[in-house]
Amino acid sequence: MSTQTEVTTATQTGPPPQSAASAAKEGLTGRVASAIALVIALLWTVPTFGLFVSSFRPEEDVKSNGWWNVFTDPSFTMQNYQDVLSGGSSGESLTTNLVNSIVITIPAVLIPISLATLAAYAFAWMDFKGRDVLFVGVFALQIVPIQVTLVPLLSLYTDPPFNLMPLAGRDAPAGGLYELWLSHTIFALPLAIFLLHNFMREIPGELIESARIDGAGHVQIFTRIMIPLMMPAIAAFGIFQFLWVWNDLLVALVFSSPDVSPLTVKLVSLVGQRGEDWQLLASGAFVSLAIPLAVFIGLQRYFVRGLLAGSVKG
């Protein structure tokens, strides 16, 4: 009898069964997984490092040998970046296009975030007729390819219906900042509304009811409760939208004019006009990379908080 009790006790006090999450974590942090991650990181980083090295190498070295020769015969120059930023001997200055990218990107981030937060609050905490159907329609817009909308949008910008005046005026050429801002806003709103709505729905309803009992209306609830709690999620989507607009080429090619073309369009023209000048292409690529990299590093903590948002403590 005592032996059976000891066996039963030993069985009950044995190690608990491993959960699926623990098994997955153990598999992803093992030696094999770490080795695979290291190989992928090297395959991803080495070409970028080679492009970075080429951006500082003289033109003669770039055209005569590979970037790895810098370890045996180091030779660096800043002439490539001077040519790209000021034009120099090449006449291909990217400074104006860099300013255009900044002017395009900042409003294209702020406008959809402002509209999406208002719409997300309405879908999450305001009861009106047809709310669910309208939200499903907004959600369904995410599956519409951007390429399908380019020609109809361009037609609306150049020849608006109901005798409305074009955004930039009757005499202004097609392809201005207004078209770019509006296009990026249209493409960003469905995803922004969906994500921010999901974050808002995670806020406890008791908090909203307490504010209503204290006499707060929708405006006060939105500005004093929702916006502070939603800042991590707003910042996270803002980073996504900034990177998307900054690196966009398709929308810029369709809706921008030469006067307001962003950096990505100029880099494409460099490829076409100066396909052999790799030192200019490399330096131009890293000029384009500098600002989004600085934005991501500077707002990284908000990005991580936004990804982890979705619950309220206390």
CA atoms 147, 148, 151, 157: torsion sign: negative
pLDDT band at 107 (very low <50, low <70, confident <90, very high): very high
- On whether residue 90 sits in a domain, the answer given is no
- On whether residue 7 sits in a domain, the answer given is no
Buried b (16+ CB within 10 A) or exposed e, 262-272: bbbbbbeebee
- On whether residue 313 sits in a domain, the answer given is no
- On whether residue 6 sits in a domain, the answer given is no
Is the pLDDT confidence value at 111 over 90?
yes
State whether 29 and 161 are in the same domain.
no
What percent of the chain stands above pLDDT 70? Answer: 77
Closest-CA residue to 180 (of 116, 114, 95, 112): 112
Is the pLDDT confidence value at 295 over 60?
yes
Last residue of a domain, one of 57, 85, 113: 85
Give CA–CA dist 38/257, Å, rounded.
Answer: 43
Name the CA dihedral angle for 63, 262, 98, 58, rounded to a multiple of 10 degrees: 0
State whether 43 and 73 are in the same domain.
yes
Is the pLDDT confidence value at 147 over 90?
no
Last residue of a domain, one of 54, 85, 116: 85
pLDDT of residue 313: 44
- On whether residue 185 sits in a domain, the answer given is yes
Is the pLDDT confidence value at 314 over 60?
no
Closest-CA residue to 222 (of 207, 240, 238): 207
Last residue of a domain, one of 53, 85, 117: 85
pLDDT band at 10 (very low <50, low <70, confident <90, very high): very low
Mean pLDDT of the chain: 79
Residue-wise pLDDT tens digits, 301-313: 766 665 555 444 4
Segment 151-167 shows an average pLDDT of: 71
pLDDT of residue 312: 44
Segment 212-240 shows an average pLDDT of: 85
- On whether residue 17 sits in a domain, the answer given is no
State whether 122 and 168 are in the same domain.
yes
pLDDT of residue 108: 93
Lowest mean pLDDT among 39-48, 213-222, 249-258, 277-286: 277-286
The CATH number assigned to the domain holding 222 equals 1.10.3720.10
- On whether residue 9 sits in a domain, the answer given is no
State whether 134 and 206 are in the same domain.
yes
Give CA–CA dist 314/312, Å, rounded.
Answer: 7
**Is the whole model's pTM more than 0.95, yes or no?**
no
Structure tokens at 94: 């990217």
State whether 60 and 103 are in the same domain.
no
pLDDT band at 231 (very low <50, low <70, confident <90, very high): confident
More confidently predicted of 147 and 14: 147
State whether 183 and 117 are in the same domain.
yes
What percent of the chain stands above pLDDT 90? Answer: 11
Is the pLDDT confidence value at 43 over 80?
yes
pLDDT of residue 18: 57
For the chain, the domain total comes to: 2
State whether 234 and 271 are in the same domain.
yes
- On whether residue 118 sits in a domain, the answer given is yes
Structural contact between residues 91 and 280, judged by C-beta atoms closer than 8 angstroms? no
pLDDT of residue 88: 59
Is the pLDDT confidence value at 110 over 90?
yes
Task: Please give the single-letter amino acid code of residue 49.
Answer: F
State whether 81 and 99 are in the same domain.
no
State whether 176 and 99 are in the same domain.
yes
Segment 128-133 shows an average pLDDT of: 85
State whether 61 and 189 are in the same domain.
no
State whether 256 and 130 are in the same domain.
yes
pLDDT band at 74 (very low <50, low <70, confident <90, very high): confident
Cα atoms in the 13 Å half-sphere on the side-chain side of 311: 3
pLDDT of residue 164: 56
Q: What range defines the domain where residue 139 resides?
A: 95-308
pLDDT of residue 132: 85
Q: How many residues make up the chain in this entry?
A: 314
State whether 48 and 117 are in the same domain.
no
Give CA–CA dist 284/101, Å, rounded.
Answer: 14
Give CA–CA dist 285/51, Å, rounded.
Answer: 9
Give CA–CA dist 288/279, Å, rounded.
Answer: 14
More confidently predicted of 243 and 176: 243
Is the pLDDT confidence value at 237 over 70?
yes
Longest dimension (CA), the chain: 100
